Amino acid sequence: MDDWIDIGGIDAIPRRGARCVVTPNGKIAVFRTQEDQIFAIENRCAHKDGPLSEGIVHGAAVTCPLHNWVFDLATGKAQGADEGRVRTYAVSVVDGRILMAPELALMAAE
């Protein structure tokens, strides 16, 4: 994990909140659950491109602020009757710091 990118402390994201990280190839939403789990998904709803980082976090899911689609933060899959998915990305927490996989910026372009 020595080459992973430090994007900030876990306390920079409120519980049940998110932070948008801009990479050279797109925006990624990084979420913190009430239980301090950290997830990263593309910051674009599969339905109408809504900014997921501005959505409501509940459990390990986020509701898009535009049309209420719900996405599982671990898998990126739409929940309920909705179909579709968003990309998920590898993140880790080490000593209170959130780290992103180094290939993350490249993966966002695919």
All domains of the chain, ordered by start, with CATH? 5-107 (2.102.10.10)
**Between residues 5 and 50, which one has the greater pLDDT?**
50
Let me know: does 78 contact 63? Beta carbons within 8 Å. Answer: no
Half-sphere exposure of 29 (CA within 13 A, CB side): 31
The residues that bridge with 29 in the sheet, in sequence order, are: 20, 41
Q: According to the model, what pLDDT value does residue 109 have?
A: 35
Please count the residues of the chain.
110
Total-model pTM: 0.88
pLDDT digits (tens, 9 = 90+) for 34-44: 999 999 999 99
Closest CA to 48 of 88, 87, 84, 89: 84
With a cut of 80, say whether residue 87 has pLDDT above it. Answer: yes
